[in-house]
Amino acid sequence: MASLGMAVNVDAAGNLRGFHASAKGSERRLLIGSHLDTVPNAGAYDGVLGVVLGIALVESLRQGQLPFGIEIIGFSDEEGIRFGTPFLGSRALAGKIDDELLAKTDANGISIAEAIHNFSLLASRLPEAEIGSDAFAYLEFHIEQGPVLDALNQPLAVVESIVGQSRWSVTFQGEANHAGTTPMHLRKDALAGAAEWIEAVEQQARRVQGLVATVGSVEALPGAINVIAGTAVTSLDIRHPSDKVRRTAGTRMLQTAERIARRRKLTAHSRPLLDQPAVSMDAGLVEVAADAIRKAGCTPFRMPSGAGHDAMIMVEKVPSVMIFLRSPRGISHHPEETVLAEDVELALAAGEHLLRQVAIK
């Protein structure tokens, strides 16, 4: 970004930001961004591709200027792996970080506020990261992270909405004991209770159209091969386009955990980590993006996103839209995640058309 003459800085939330000024000196700015963090053992394109595409669009402007500035944003901590709460970087831009959020801790007891300090930043300056009225729109390019576009042989799509998400930490508590001397009928095996519940979560999710539920993390304690697990700490992630359906399913699954625990003489405790409502992208920008994709030579396919993105936070603050690129074989959050070069070329062409259309409005 610096090599393109952009003003570059890192804000108090760790977001990397670069501003390309308008030739006319206008304070109005279009935001283009995505995230820089990733998940364990992941691929190279989730998030970062959207940042690089934004920079490439700025580079394409070297032959001409727009009547507004462009700010590129590489968001920090979108995935929420460390603290269990996603979108920390975009929450800062939307002015959605409070003392309760800053007090959340990681597995080592380090709070978000402390992590910010350890990164040589000041949590007290977080209000300075919030965007102002000069930001008039937000655009995010992202790989689909699913198989829909690949199955349809569609290079690009406009995202119309993003499904809601719920996340919990669910802990089963039993009694650790010797694996060789404790009869099966006298055990209080927390991991066995968690395993039964995981199966129940899958079965309940299969019975509800459009619902997905995932137990993606299980930690058994004390974690020795010859010890019955006295504690099992699990995660639960639920998503659905309808907030009512999602929340109802979450309540039912947590009640199931408690019922299984009682029958096995265990206890089950849940701790909410996230309740992110479903959101719709800005209708006007969806139309602009669809037209831009059409002008790039593609069918303007429209779809919802089953994954969460920074755009679902930004849309609360500024009109927002997303453009998906297909994920070959639908693979994401995996080292084999990739994109097709011709799809990236089409995305850049669509982005250039979108910039011209927004400039006319």
Query: Is 60 exposed, middle or buried (CB count within 10 Å of its CB: 0-12, 13-18, 19+)?
Result: middle
Mean pLDDT of 154-182: 97
State pTM to two decimals: 0.83
What pLDDT is recorded for position 24? 79
The yes-or-no answer to whether 2-163+278-360 and 164-276 have a common fold is no
In the chain, where the domains are located? 2-163+278-360, 164-276
CATH number attached to the domain at 2-163+278-360 = 3.40.630.10
Q: Rounded to an integer, what distance in angstroms lies between the CA atom of residue 49 and that of residue 295? A: 22
- Write the DSSP symbol of residue 309: -
What percent of the chain has a predicted confidence (pLDDT) above 70? 99
The closest of 107, 102, 99 to 88, measured between CA atoms, is: 102
Q: Rounded to an integer, what distance in angstroms lies between the CA atom of residue 195 and that of residue 98? A: 36
Q: Rounded to an integer, what distance in angstroms lies between the CA atom of residue 216 and that of residue 195? A: 12
User: pLDDT-based confidence at 160, cuts 50/70/90?
Assistant: very high
pLDDT, averaged across the chain: 95
**Which own/partner pairs from 122-130 qualify as long-range (CB within 8 Å, at least 24 positions apart)?**
122/12, 123/12, 124/12, 125/11, 125/12, 126/12, 126/13, 126/92, 126/97, 127/95, 128/11, 128/12, 129/11, 129/12, 129/13, 129/15, 129/92, 129/93, 130/92, 130/93, 130/94, 130/95
Residue type, 155: P
Query: Is 62 exposed, middle or buried (CB count within 10 Å of its CB: 0-12, 13-18, 19+)?
Result: exposed
What pLDDT is recorded for position 212? 96
* 212 within 8 A of 238, measured Cβ to Cβ: yes
Burial per residue of 86-110, b for 16 or more beta-carbon CB atoms within 10 angstroms, e otherwise: bbbbbbbbbeebeeebbebeeeeee
- pLDDT higher than 80, residue 361: no
Q: Rounded to an integer, what distance in angstroms lies between the CA atom of residue 251 and that of residue 234? A: 16
Residue 239 forms beta bridges with which residues? 165, 212
**Residue whose tokens read 């792996």:** 81
- pLDDT higher than 80, residue 64: no
User: pLDDT-based confidence at 25, cuts 50/70/90?
Assistant: confident
Q: What is the pLDDT of residues 270-301, one digit of tens each?
A: 999 989 899 999 999 999 999 999 999 999 99
Query: Is 210 exposed, middle or buried (CB count within 10 Å of its CB: 0-12, 13-18, 19+)?
Result: middle
Instruction: Look at the chain and count its residues.
Output: 361
Q: Which helix (H) or strand (E) holds 69?
A: strand 69-75
* 59 within 8 A of 4, measured Cβ to Cβ: yes
Cα angle 42, 90, 310 (rounded to 5 degrees) comes to 55
341-360 and 283-295 are packed helices; what angle lies between their axes, rounded to 10 degrees? Answer: 120
Q: Which helix (H) or strand (E) holds 304?
A: strand 302-305
Q: What is the pLDDT of residues 186-220, one digit of tens each?
A: 999 999 999 999 999 999 999 999 999 999 999 99
Who wins on pLDDT, 360 or 284? 284
Task: Give the CA radius of gyration of the chain.
Answer: 23
What percent of the chain has a predicted confidence (pLDDT) above 90? 93
What pLDDT is recorded for position 63? 61
What pLDDT is recorded for position 85? 87
What pLDDT is recorded for position 360? 79
Q: Which residues contact 291 (CB under 8 A, 6 or more apart)?
A: 300, 353, 357
- The domain defined by 164-276 folds into Alpha-Beta Plaits (3.30.70)
